[in-house]
Amino acid sequence: MKASLPLLAAATLLAFGAGSTSVPAAPRPAAAGPTTMAALYQQFADALQQQDMAKATACLAKNVRLLGTTSALSGRDSLSTYWLKDSFSTTTNLKLTPLRSGGDAMMGYTTGYFSADLKPTAAYPAGGSVRGSYMLQSHKQGTTWQISYVHVAQVPVKANK
């Protein structure tokens, strides 16, 4: 009986896969986003200046809100479709001037000024320039930072002559 106990234990382990050499790989985590608030703002600013919709959208939280010159928008898809796409199609030469940043371990903000050239449109056949201020609020989701609130204040467009 003593000799059959180890054999029974080995058979049980083999039956339940303990002796299997093909161990499934651990799932890989999703691509990590920015791990600091400063890195998030830099990544977002770079994406805006390069007019990279995918990178800019990746910086936004799923429930992000935008308040500003248009009606309020809510959600990553809405901001991507109605704000970023529209901005990228009508402006060039975006310049951001950061003014102040702050926060703690879980929440942060940055403020500043922006200016951009307006492409020619029906309303502004010679183009124009826009300028204003912005405020971004972000929060830490797990180990990455995401933008959860955007406020944009814009002065009237200055038309080119």
pLDDT of residue 72: 87
Q: Are 68 and 154 in contact (CB under 8 A)?
A: yes
Q: Which two tokens stand for residue 20?
A: 């299997």
Residues 51-87 pLDDT 10s: 999 999 999 999 999 998 677 899 999 999 888 998 8
- For domain 33-159, the CATH architecture is Roll (3.10)
- Beta-carbon contacts of residue 4 (< 8 Å; ≥ 6 apart): none
Give yes or no for residue 11 having a pLDDT over 60: no
Residues 12-21 pLDDT 10s: 333 334 444 4
Question: Could you tell me where the beta strands, DSSP code E, fall in 9-127?
Answer: 60-67, 73-74, 91-103, 107-118
Kind of pairing between the strands at 144-154 and 107-118: unpaired
